[in-house]
Amino acid sequence: MSALPQSRQLERLEQSSAEELLEWALAHFGGSLAIVTAFQAEGMVIVDLAARISPHVRVLTLDTGRLPEETYRMIETVRERYGVGVEMVAPDTAEVEAMVARHGPNLFYREVALRNLCCQIRKVRPLERSLRGLRAWVTGLRREQNESRADVRKVEDVDGKLKLNPLADWTAGQVSDYIRRHNVPMHPLYAAGYRSIGCAPCTRAVNPGDDARAGRWWWEQDAAKECGIHFAPDGKAERKLDVLLNEILEAKRA
Ligand code: SF4
pLDDT, position 9: 82
End-to-end alpha carbon distance in the chain: 35
Would you call 202 a catalytic residue per the annotation?
no
| Atom 2 of ligand 1, nearest CA residue | 202
Residue-wise pLDDT tens digits, 158-184: 888 999 999 999 999 999 999 999 999
pLDDT at residue 238 greater than cutoff 70: no
User: Are the C-beta atoms of 30 and 66 separated by less than 8 Å?
Assistant: no
pLDDT band for position 103 (cuts 50, 70, 90): very high
What's the angle, vertex CA 50, arms to CA 44 and CA 56, rounded to 5?
A: 115
CA of 137 to the centre of ligand 1 (A): 22
pLDDT at residue 231 greater than cutoff 50: no
Domain 7-253 superfamily per CATH: HUPs (3.40.50.620)
Q: Is 118 in the pocket of ligand 1 (CB under 6 A)?
A: yes
pLDDT at residue 129 greater than cutoff 70: yes
Average pLDDT, the chain: 90
CA of 214 to the centre of ligand 1 (A): 15
Residue-wise pLDDT tens digits, 40-76: 999 999 999 999 999 899 999 999 999 999 999 999 9
- The domain ranges of the chain are 7-253
CA distance 225 to 215: 10
Q: Tell me which of 40, 62, 63, 64 to substitute to probe ligand 1's pocket, judged by most ligand atoms within 8 Å of the beta carbon.
A: 64
